[in-house]
A = this chain, B = another copy of it.
Amino acid sequence: MKPNAKIGVINVSDRASQGIYEDIPGKVCVALLEEWLVTPFTVEYAVVPDEADQIQSTLVRFSDEENCSLIVTTGGTGPAERDITPEATEAVCHKMLPGFGEAMRNASLKFVPTAILSRQTAGIRGSSLIVNLPGKPKAIRENLEAVFPAIPYCVDLIGGAYLETNEAVMKAFRPKQKPSS
């Protein structure tokens, strides 16, 4: 039996974790997932500072203990000294998916030339797909929209939950046949 759909959302932000900023990016992610997915899902949620150990332990917990099929992070992907979400992601992933970062930067490049400063990546840990998103709400939608059509099939391939989208607003793509290897 396929596991129940559980999705992790981690807002990585020094200021949101201290309550200085309202935690908007994480809420934007949940709203987008609710808009696009018709499969019922539960959300694991965390707001953590830009500290490698806290990002990594939350990713590991959401993957290994909570069995999240998809974990999205927001923030911490820029060039500034405190921005370490991609490194923390890579540290806990068993394999990396460079195509996600490429696709998200290409999507953002349609709007701002500073899209190349984003170091967002994605990778697999066990049966969890981890995807880094930016911290700005508008950019979160632009980026997740660019890669979401591939996410349900990716989650299939790693043994996660079967995710179905509302095709009127987000068309997921599943190839008719599995690759031959």
Chain A, interface SS category: mixed
User: Are B99 and A15 in contact, with the CB atoms below 8 A?
Assistant: no
User: Are A50 and B181 in contact, with the CB atoms below 8 A?
Assistant: yes
- A116 adjacent to chain B (CB < 8 Å): yes
- What is the total number of copies of this protein in its complex? 3
Least Cβ–Cβ distance between A13 and chain B, in angstroms: 4
- A38 adjacent to chain B (CB < 8 Å): no
Chain B residue at minimal CB-CB distance from A75: B181
Residues of the B chain whose Cβ atoms lie less than 8 Å from the Cβ of A135? 179-181
Residues of the B chain whose Cβ atoms lie less than 8 Å from the Cβ of A79? 95, 97, 124, 129, 154, 157-158
CA distance A91 to B83 in the complex (A): 19
Which residues of A are interface residues toward B (Cβ below 8 A)?
A: 11-16, 21, 24-25, 50, 74-76, 78-81, 83-84, 86-87, 95-103, 105-106, 109, 112-119, 124, 129, 134-136, 147, 149-150, 153-154, 157-159, 173-175, 179-181
A14-B181, A79-B124 are known contacts; what are 14 more A-B pairs with Cβ within 8 Å? A12-B181, A76-B181, A78-B181, A79-B129, A95-B119, A97-B116, A97-B119, A103-B105, A113-B149, A114-B149, A114-B153, A114-B174, A117-B150, A135-B180
Show 15 residue pairs from A and B whose CB-CB distance is below 8 angstroms, ordered by the A residue: A15-B181, A21-B180, A50-B181, A78-B179, A81-B158, A83-B181, A84-B95, A98-B101, A99-B118, A102-B116, A103-B116, A114-B150, A114-B173, A115-B150, A117-B153
